[in-house]
Amino acid sequence: MTAVATETSAVVPVLAFGVAVSRVEELSPSYRRITFSGESLRRFGVDGPTLDLRIKVMIPSLGADGQRLPLPPFGVPVGRTSTGVAVELGGGWYQQWLAMDPAERGSMRTYTVREFRPAAGALEAELDVDFVLHFDAEGNGGPASCWAAAAGPGDEVTIIGPNVEAAQCATAKAYGGIEWRPGLASHVLLAGDETALPAIAAILESLPEDMTGNAVLEVPDAADFQDIRSAADVQIAWLARGDRPHGELLSEAVRTAVVVPGAGLAEVAGEDPEEVDVDRTILWETTTGSTRPFYAWIAGEAAVIRELRRYLVRDVGVDRKQVAFMGYWRAGKAEL
């Protein structure tokens, strides 16, 4: 990464962190946990648990000779390259990155922080990201899956995420990477496919003892089931998709957990929500916090989430202020 951050970056909510892989763990056939470390991560963090915190991972490109090209230099001010440096991003950095030659700029993908362990004394800060390995029958995958499958200690990437020094100041909410906002709710529903598992797991681990509800997780195979510990009284249901269509088991389970006419959540069915063309736009509808006893957080493949949105809002009558609907990805499309 480039540049030494300036004093003014103390109130800039987003930084670019130069990090290196320190550890790799094979969690299951579909998941590989990659732990990143670096001096730069001393400036990474939010005010409280990371929950469903989203970050950007910059994946370096492969050169013509098959070797990884260096990460593109951007940031303010420009300086020496070092994986230990956190960089203040200037306005328009994303447009500058897009304007670069695609063969040299690499790829940028959104991931959820599985766990962040701040630096303590001589121990470096560590950031865990669980990568879902997506490959077709011929073994072809996207740039992030290919990179994650081959990553090893010492490999360098750039992560774009929150500046912990901004977490306590007026700009703290400027980093919109956390959507989990249950508000006054005491009963919750968490539902998602394999891409939502890291976020759901982190949320479950943060819940208080008096929280009740259901968590529904659809993953490719039973070998992908994980041991998630939570103090809350939330029932976790694992669904192994196998040869079933993506999202079919998840949809059935949500309909079982929240049934028409709402199991007391609503007196009448709601209006049909406006249609979202998930092939042209991102389905992303969140709330500032539920003011009722029930709250739902649902994420995964956009077309599946769109149908669950229609079911909960129209058929069940759940108030849209009680639900976060997030299309993390779209089948057949690469998402940033």
Query: CA 96, CA 113: separation in Å to the nearest integer?
Result: 26
Domain count, the chain: 2
91 and 36 in a common domain:
yes
311 and 270, same domain (yes or no): yes
- Last residue of one domain, picked from the residues 151, 174, 197: 174
CATH of the domain at 278: 3.40.50.80
Write down the pLDDT at residue 58: 92
If one compares 261 and 230, the residue with the highest pLDDT of the two is: 230
Is residue 335 one of the residues assigned to a domain?
A: no
Residue 334, in any domain of the structure: no
Identify whether residues 150 and 212 lie together within a single domain.
no
CA 182 – CA 60 distance, rounded (Å): 37
- Cβ-based neighbour number of residue 31 at 10 Å: 22
pLDDT band for 335, please (50, 70, 90 cuts): low
Q: Say which range, 12-16, 194-198, 263-267, 315-319, has the weakest mean pLDDT.
A: 263-267
At residue 260, does pLDDT exceed 80? no
Please state the rounded mean pLDDT for residues 281-302: 92
Is residue 245 located within the same domain as residue 132?
A: no
Same structural domain for residues 65 and 211? no
Structural domain for 39, as ranges? 7-174
Is there a single domain that holds both residue 98 and residue 193? no
Q: Does residue 13 sit in the same domain as residue 97? A: yes
In this prediction, what percent of the chain has a pLDDT beyond 90? Answer: 60
Say if residue 158 is in the same domain as residue 13.
Answer: yes
Cβ-contact 193, 247 below 8 angstroms:
yes
The CATH number that applies at residue 114 is 2.40.30.10
Residue 77: predicted pLDDT: 36
Collect all residues with Cβ–Cβ distance below 8 Å to 76 and sequence separation of at least 6: 3, 6, 87, 88, 89, 90
Q: Do 144 and 40 share a structural domain?
A: yes
pLDDT given for residue 173 in this prediction: 58
- Partners of 285 in the β-ladder: 325
